[in-house]
Chains A and B, each alone.
Chain A
C-alpha cells in the first residue's frame, strides 16, 4: 500500500498551480487528500504528478453574504461545520457536514474536494445539487462557474477538465421561512450512508436530494405529494443498487422511510429558523 512514483509540486500561487497542471495532463490536484491518498496508496490512481494546493492561502476562505455561502478550496470540513455564519445562512450545509466521515477526516478533508470527487455516496454533492449551487473552476484558460446540475457526470466523474482546479463552491443561502432537514442510515457512525436524504421545504415547494441511491446526486421534486406517498414518489426516480452492505430492496426501504421522515422534518422546520 505504497503509491507508485509521482512528481510532487507545491506551487505558491494559483497561477503557478494552474500552469503546472496545464503542463501535465496526468497530474492530479491534492487538497485534503482524504480520498486521493488512499487511492494512491492502493495504486488505484497512478498520476504522473501531484499539484499540492495546500500552500495557496488565498483558497482557505469561507465567505457568507446575502445570497451565498462561498467555500474556498482549502476550507476544511471541520472549519465549515464550526462556522456559525454558515450555519445561520444555510443550515443544511452544517446538518449534512456532521455526517461526513469522522472528526479526524473532517479536520483534513475539504468540502470543495469532496464536491469534485463527485461521489454520489457523499453528502456534500447532494446538498450542492439540492440547493442549486455551483462550483467555480479556474485554469490557464480562465475561470468558469459550473452549476451543480452540470457538475456530476457519473460515478466519481465530474465535468472539470484535467487542467482545471476548483477554487470555490457557492451554496445559496436558505430563503427566509424555508425549512431543511437531513438524515442518513449508515452501517457505522461516519461511514458512507446506505441511504441519505436531504430536504428543503420552501413555502409549498418540497425538494429532496438523495445520497447513495443513484449514480449521480439526484434531486426529486415532491411538491404537492402528500405525506405517506413521498417515499414511493422518490423511489420512482431513483435506482438503489445492492452492495455487500445492503440489498437494493433494503435501500429502497430506506428511501421510503427516510424520505417520509426527512421531508416531514423539513416541513416542520419551516419558519422556525
Chain B
C-alpha cells in the first residue's frame, strides 16, 4: 500500500513558483501594450457633499479613453452596491455606490473612474478633474459616533447601524448575587489586512461570443461572477471569473464587489478593450477595508474559585462608513468571546456604529481577537482580584471533554446554534504550560528582577468556529494520461491548497501525489462555490474533494472490475494502477480505465491503443447506458450542519526596558487543535503567519486617523507592519488533534487561529511585567512610558 499522505508534512507544490517569482497575479494578466489602465479619483474629504464634478479637461489629455462619474452610470450600476449579508437587526444598513452619488463618507471613497493608455496618464487625468465639495464635519472614532453630535448618514439616527442583544439568562441578576464582582473598560484599535498584493481586476469583453472574462484578486470568484452579471445586465452564462494567484487576502478580498470589480468590466465592454485596474498601496489603505476597532464594557460576577457566575458585555463596534458585509464581525465578537469557557449566565449587547472612515469588513480573526481580548482580560482581572494563578482560574471555567457537543445557547454568525463539536481544553492547558514553562516562570521573573530587568508572562485561550457552510463542491477528472485534474470553486491566497487537496486525492484514489493538479477559483471549472473565508477551505473544499474522489474511485473500480473480470472488492489501486489483489499481473492503469470510460472511437494516444484489448459494458445496452456518463469523473458537494470549532492557547514571555519602555519578545508558544491535520507543516506555517500578524496588531499597527478623518499613516513607512526583525525568532508549537465529528476527515479550520489571542496574550504579559493594568491595545513604547508615568507610586 502507498503511504497515506494525510498527516504528512508534504512540501508545498506552490513554492517553486512563488519563490522563483513565477507566481501569476492579476497584474501579470493582459500585459500586452493594448491593455488600457484605470485609475480612480478618490475623495480627499472624510465627509462632504459633491456640488459639482467637472471632467471637461480630462478628455483633452492625450491617451485618455474615457471617464465615468455617477451621472454616467445607468440601471443597476447606478444603484448602491449590494449589502452582502443582511441581518434583521441591521436596521440601518448602508452601502456605497460604485461611484459616489451626491455625498462622500470617507476619505478615499471612489468619485470618478478614468481609463487611459497607461496608469501614468490615467493619474495625470485624475489631476485634471475638478470636484467642488461642500465639506461636512466628519465623525471619527467610536466616542464621536456615540455622541452623535454629527451624523454620518442623515437618515441614520445616533449613527447606529444595528443594536443586537443575545443572552442565556439574567446576567445582571447573576452578577448581583455573585460573591465577587468586577468591571472592565477596554479598547481595541483599528488595523487592516494589508496583503502584499492589493486589489486588482482585469476584464475583457469578447464581442464575437458575447462573453465577459474577468480576472480578479478575490476570495470569492463565484460571488464576483454573479454580481458582474447582475450589475451589467448579462446572463450568468456570459460571465467567467478567474482568480489567478492571489498575493494574500486575509479577509479584505471576501468583501465584493469592490467598485472597480464592476467598473473595469463596464469599461471593457464600453470601450471594446481589455481594461486593468491595479490598486496601489495608498489606495489600499484608504479605500479597501479595515477592522478591529471596538470599545468594550464588561461586568462579571464570580465565586471564590474564579468561576464565572454572570458575564455581561456591552460593546461598541466601529464599522466605518458602510456595512456591505453586514454584522458578521460584531456577531462573531459577541459569540466567540466565550472561548473555551462556560459562564453560568451570559448577556451581550452591541451597537454597530457609523463613522466617516474606511469601512470595516472581516480581517483574519474577524472579530474574535476583540472577543478574546475581552474574555481573557477578564480572566486575568479575576485572577489578580482573587490572588490566584491565571491558568487555574481559566481551568476552573473550561468546558470539559465529556461535555461535547456543548451548546453555548447563542446563535452564531451563520445563523446556526453556537454548538461546539469537540475539544479538550484541559489537555491544551497542560501542554501550553509545559511548552512555555509556566510553573517555572515566577522563579525566572524574580531572578531577572534582581538584575533590574522586567519580564512578564501571559496566557490566552480561544475557540474558533471554522468551516462554516453553506457548501463547497469539487470535480475530480482522471484523464487518459492517468493524470488527475481537480477543481474546486473557492479561491486560494497562498495557503497551500494545491498541496493539501492533492494529498487528499492521492490518498483516496491511490494515485501519485505529483499526478494530481488542483485548480481553484475558476468559475469555468467549478461554477458552484462560496469562497475562502472563516478558515473554511480545508474543511469545506477538502471534504468535498474527498467525496468527489470517492465517487471517481467508485467508477474506476466498476469499470476495472468489468474489464478485468474481477470483483470490485478484490481490486486495489496503487500508484495509479488497478490490480487484482494477490494477482499483480492482472492490472490496468487509470489512464486506460479513463479511455474505457468514454466510448469514443478515435484512438489518439498509447492509452487508447492499450485499451483496445479490453471490452467493457453490456453489448445489449447503449454505449452510454442510462444513469451513466462518459468519462472518468467524480463530482460532489459537502454541506455541514454547522461550523466546527477549533481551539488553542498562546503564551508569551516579554521583557520591557525599564528606561525606554521598549517591548521585546523572549518566547512565544502555541498549542493548537484543529482536529486531524492534513499537513502539519502547512498548519505550522499558518500559525507562524498568524502570530506575525498578531504581533503587528498587538505592538505595532494602528490606523492613525486625525480629527478630520484623514489617515495619517497610509503607507508602509508609517503603518508599522512588523518586519521579520520584529517577530519572534522561533515559535514553539505543539498540536493536539481532537477530531471533528462533523466531516469525513475529522478536520477543523486553521487559517485564522494564529492571530486571535495576540492582543490578549501581549496585554497579559506586559501587565505581568509592569504590574500596571493594560486595557487598550495595541500598545507602543510611547504609550507604555505614559502608563508608567500615570501609575508612578
Quick one: which of B649-679 are within 8 Å of A by CB? 659-662
Q: Is the CB of A249 within 8 A of B725?
A: no
Q: Is the CB of A246 within 8 A of B780?
A: yes
Query: Does B720 lie at the interface of the complex (its beta carbon under 8 Å from any beta carbon of A)?
Result: yes
- 6 A-B pairs whose Cβ atoms sit less than 8 Å apart in the complex: A188-B723, A244-B704, A246-B780, A247-B786, A250-B781, A250-B785
Query: Does B280 lie at the interface of the complex (its beta carbon under 8 Å from any beta carbon of A)?
Result: yes
Do A254 and B660 contact each other (CB < 8 Å), given the known contacts A1-B281, A187-B720, A189-B723?
yes
- Interface mask (A10-45 → B, CB under 8 Å = 1, otherwise 0): 000000000000000000000000000000001100
User: Given B281, B712, B717, B786, which contacts A250 in the complex, CB threshold below 8 Å?
Assistant: B786
Q: Chain A residue with minimal CB distance to B118?
A: A2
Query: Does A3 lie at the interface of the complex (its beta carbon under 8 Å from any beta carbon of B)?
Result: yes
Q: Is the CB of B282 within 8 A of A1?
A: yes
Q: Is the CB of A5 within 8 A of B662?
A: no
Residues of chain B within 8 A of A246, CB atoms compared: 780-782
Interface centre among B120, B725, B782 (most CB of A within 10 A): B782
- Interface mask (A237-271 → B, CB under 8 Å = 1, otherwise 0): 00000001111011001100110000000000000
Query: Does A185 lie at the interface of the complex (its beta carbon under 8 Å from any beta carbon of B)?
Result: yes
Interface of A is mostly: loop
Residues of chain A within 8 A of B660, CB atoms compared: 185, 253-254, 257-258
In the bound assembly, the distance between CA atoms of A247 and B783 in angstroms comes to 8
Quick one: which of B88-103 are within 8 Å of A by CB? none
CB proximity of B480 to chain A, nearest CB, Å: 49
Residues of chain B within 8 A of A3, CB atoms compared: 120
Q: Is the CB of A188 within 8 A of B785?
A: no
Q: Chain A residue with minimal CB distance to B706?
A: A244
CB proximity of B192 to chain A, nearest CB, Å: 15
Query: Does A203 lie at the interface of the complex (its beta carbon under 8 Å from any beta carbon of B)?
Result: no
Residues of chain A within 8 A of B127, CB atoms compared: 4, 43
Residues of chain A within 8 A of B713, CB atoms compared: 244
- Interface mask (A181-209 → B, CB under 8 Å = 1, otherwise 0): 00001011111101000000000000000
In the bound assembly, the distance between CA atoms of A254 and B785 in angstroms comes to 10
Query: Does B700 lie at the interface of the complex (its beta carbon under 8 Å from any beta carbon of A)?
Result: yes
In the bound assembly, the distance between CA atoms of A254 and B660 in angstroms comes to 6
Do A253 and B723 contact each other (CB < 8 Å), given the known contacts A1-B280, A2-B119, A4-B127?
no
Q: Chain A residue with minimal CB distance to B712?
A: A244
Q: Is the CB of B120 within 8 A of A5?
A: yes
Interface centre among A5, A187, A194 (most CB of B within 10 A): A187
In the bound assembly, the distance between CA atoms of A186 and B459 in angstroms comes to 28
- Interface mask (B700-726 → A, CB under 8 Å = 1, otherwise 0): 100010000000110001101011011
In the bound assembly, the distance between CA atoms of A43 and B718 in angstroms comes to 18
In the bound assembly, the distance between CA atoms of A5 and B282 in angstroms comes to 20
Query: Does B554 lie at the interface of the complex (its beta carbon under 8 Å from any beta carbon of A)?
Result: no
In the bound assembly, the distance between CA atoms of A194 and B782 in angstroms comes to 10
Q: Is the CB of B725 within 8 A of A189?
A: yes
Q: Chain A residue with minimal CB distance to B280?
A: A1
In the bound assembly, the distance between CA atoms of A5 and B128 in angstroms comes to 14
Residues of chain A within 8 A of B780, CB atoms compared: 187, 245-246
Residues of chain A within 8 A of B720, CB atoms compared: 187-188, 191, 245
CB proximity of A94 to chain B, nearest CB, Å: 20
Q: Give the B-binding residues of A (Cβ under 8 A).
A: 1-5, 42-43, 102, 185, 187-192, 194, 244-247, 249-250, 253-254, 257-258
5 additional A-B pairs beyond A1-B280, A2-B119, beta carbons within 8 Å, are A1-B123, A189-B723, A246-B780, A253-B661, A254-B660
Interface centre among B704, B712, B723, B781 (most CB of A within 10 A): B781
Do A250 and B782 contact each other (CB < 8 Å), given the known contacts A4-B127, A189-B723, A190-B723?
yes
Residues of chain A within 8 A of B662, CB atoms compared: 185
In the bound assembly, the distance between CA atoms of A165 and B119 in angstroms comes to 32
In the bound assembly, the distance between CA atoms of A7 and B662 in angstroms comes to 46
In the bound assembly, the distance between CA atoms of A273 and B631 in angstroms comes to 79
Q: Give the A-binding residues of B (Cβ under 8 A).
A: 119-120, 123-124, 127, 280-282, 659-662, 700, 704, 712-713, 717-718, 720, 722-723, 725-726, 780-782, 785-786, 789
In the bound assembly, the distance between CA atoms of A4 and B123 in angstroms comes to 8
Q: Is the CB of A2 within 8 A of B120?
A: yes
CB proximity of A151 to chain B, nearest CB, Å: 24
CB proximity of B357 to chain A, nearest CB, Å: 15
Q: Is the CB of B718 within 8 A of A244?
A: yes
Q: Is the CB of A253 within 8 A of B785?
A: yes
In the bound assembly, the distance between CA atoms of A184 and B5 in angstroms comes to 50
Residues of chain B within 8 A of A250, CB atoms compared: 661, 781-782, 785-786
Q: Is the CB of A257 within 8 A of B119?
A: no
CB-based closest 6 A-B pairs: A189-B725, A250-B782, A1-B280, A246-B782, A244-B704, A257-B659
Do A249 and B723 contact each other (CB < 8 Å), given the known contacts A1-B280, A4-B124, A5-B124?
no
In the bound assembly, the distance between CA atoms of A246 and B779 in angstroms comes to 11
In the bound assembly, the distance between CA atoms of A3 and B660 in angstroms comes to 40
CB proximity of A208 to chain B, nearest CB, Å: 17
User: Given B123, B280, B700, which contacts A187 in the complex, CB threshold below 8 Å?
Assistant: B700
Q: Is the CB of B124 within 8 A of A188?
A: no
CB proximity of B653 to chain A, nearest CB, Å: 20
Q: Chain B residue with minimal CB distance to A261?
A: B659
Residues of chain B within 8 A of A254, CB atoms compared: 660
CB proximity of A26 to chain B, nearest CB, Å: 17
Interface centre among A247, A250, A258 (most CB of B within 10 A): A250
User: Given B120, B282, B789, which contacts A42 in the complex, CB threshold below 8 Å?
Assistant: B282
CB proximity of B296 to chain A, nearest CB, Å: 24
In the bound assembly, the distance between CA atoms of A201 and B583 in angstroms comes to 88
In the bound assembly, the distance between CA atoms of A137 and B725 in angstroms comes to 38
CB proximity of A167 to chain B, nearest CB, Å: 29
Do A245 and B782 contact each other (CB < 8 Å), given the known contacts A42-B282, A187-B720, A188-B720?
yes
Do A188 and B659 contact each other (CB < 8 Å), given the known contacts A244-B713, A250-B782?
no
Do A188 and B700 contact each other (CB < 8 Å), given the known contacts A4-B124, A250-B781?
yes
In the bound assembly, the distance between CA atoms of A209 and B233 in angstroms comes to 66
CB proximity of B789 to chain A, nearest CB, Å: 8
CB proximity of A181 to chain B, nearest CB, Å: 16
In the bound assembly, the distance between CA atoms of A167 and B282 in angstroms comes to 34
Do A190 and B725 contact each other (CB < 8 Å), given the known contacts A246-B782, A250-B785?
yes
In the bound assembly, the distance between CA atoms of A94 and B655 in angstroms comes to 29
In the bound assembly, the distance between CA atoms of A190 and B724 in angstroms comes to 11
CB proximity of A258 to chain B, nearest CB, Å: 8
In the bound assembly, the distance between CA atoms of A199 and B280 in angstroms comes to 41
In the bound assembly, the distance between CA atoms of A102 and B780 in angstroms comes to 22
In the bound assembly, the distance between CA atoms of A4 and B128 in angstroms comes to 12
In the bound assembly, the distance between CA atoms of A269 and B661 in angstroms comes to 26
Q: Is the CB of A188 within 8 A of B782?
A: no
Q: Chain B residue with minimal CB distance to A253?
A: B785
Q: Chain B residue with minimal CB distance to A3?
A: B120
Q: Chain A residue with minimal CB distance to B662?
A: A185
In the bound assembly, the distance between CA atoms of A189 and B700 in angstroms comes to 12
CB proximity of A210 to chain B, nearest CB, Å: 15
In the bound assembly, the distance between CA atoms of A254 and B781 in angstroms comes to 10
Q: Is the CB of B786 within 8 A of A188?
A: no
In the bound assembly, the distance between CA atoms of A244 and B718 in angstroms comes to 8
Q: Chain B residue with minimal CB distance to A247?
A: B782
In the bound assembly, the distance between CA atoms of A68 and B280 in angstroms comes to 44
CB proximity of B63 to chain A, nearest CB, Å: 11
Residues of chain A within 8 A of B723, CB atoms compared: 102, 188-190
Q: Chain B residue with minimal CB distance to A257?
A: B659
In the bound assembly, the distance between CA atoms of A42 and B685 in angstroms comes to 35
Q: Is the CB of A2 within 8 A of B123?
A: yes
In the bound assembly, the distance between CA atoms of A245 and B782 in angstroms comes to 7
Q: Is the CB of B659 within 8 A of A249?
A: no
In the bound assembly, the distance between CA atoms of A102 and B661 in angstroms comes to 24
